[in-house]
A and B are shown apart, each in its own frame.
Chain A
Amino acid sequence: MRRIIQSLSALLMNSFFFLKPSEGVTLYQGKLKSVCVPILNCYSCPLAWGSCPIGSVQQTLKLMKVPYFVFGFFGAIGAFVGRWACGNLCPFGFIQEMLYKIKTVKIRIRRIFRLNKYVVLALTLSLPLILHEPVFCKYLCPAGTVEASIAQIAMNPLLLQTVGFIFFLKAAIAVVFVAGSISMKRFFCVLFCPIGALYGLFNRVSLLQIKYDESKCVKCGICNRVCPMDINIYENQTDYDCIRCFECVDKCPYGALKKSTLFTSPASQEKNSSRI
Chain B
Amino acid sequence: MKRRTAFFVVLLIALVLIVIGAARGDLSLIFNFGRFICFDCIGIS
Contacts and interface: CB of A to CB of B under 8 A. Distances in A.
B10 A78 contact: yes
Q: 7 tightest A-B contacts by CB?
A: A69-B21, A75-B14, A72-B17, A68-B21, A33-B34, A34-B31, A69-B26
A33 B41 contact: no
A152 B18 contact: no
Nearest to B16: A72
Contact of B38 (A43, A79, A169, A263): A43
Given A44-B37, A55-B38, A33 B11 contact: no
Contact of B41 (A35, A69, A141): A141
A69 B18 contact: yes
B1 to A, nearest CB: 9
A29 B35 contact: yes
Interface string A157-178: 0010011101111110000000
A42 B41 contact: yes
A44 B4 contact: no
Interface in A114-171: 133-134, 137-138, 141, 144-145, 148-149, 152-153, 159, 162-164, 166-171
Contacts of A68: 17-18, 20-21, 24, 26
Contact residues on B (Cβ < 8 Å of other chain), bracket: 35 or more
B40 A27 contact: no
A183 interface: no
A96 interface: no
B20 A134 contact: no
Contacts of A42: 38, 41-42
Contact of B29 (A65, A159, A168, A262): A65
Contacts of B28: 34
B6 to A, nearest CB: 4
16 contacts: A34-B34, A35-B30, A43-B34, A51-B33, A71-B14, A71-B17, A71-B21, A76-B14, A79-B10, A134-B40, A144-B42, A159-B44, A167-B42, A205-B7, A262-B4, A263-B4
Mostly, the B contact residues are: helix
Given A55-B33, A59-B33, A68-B20, A44 B10 contact: no
Contacts of A259: none
Given A31-B31, A79-B11, A149 B38 contact: no
A200 B27 CA distance: 25
A69 B27 contact: yes
B31 A33 contact: yes
A166 B34 contact: no
A36 B30 contact: yes
A152 B11 contact: no
A163 B35 contact: no
A70 interface: yes
Contacts of A78: 10, 14
Nearest to A150: B42
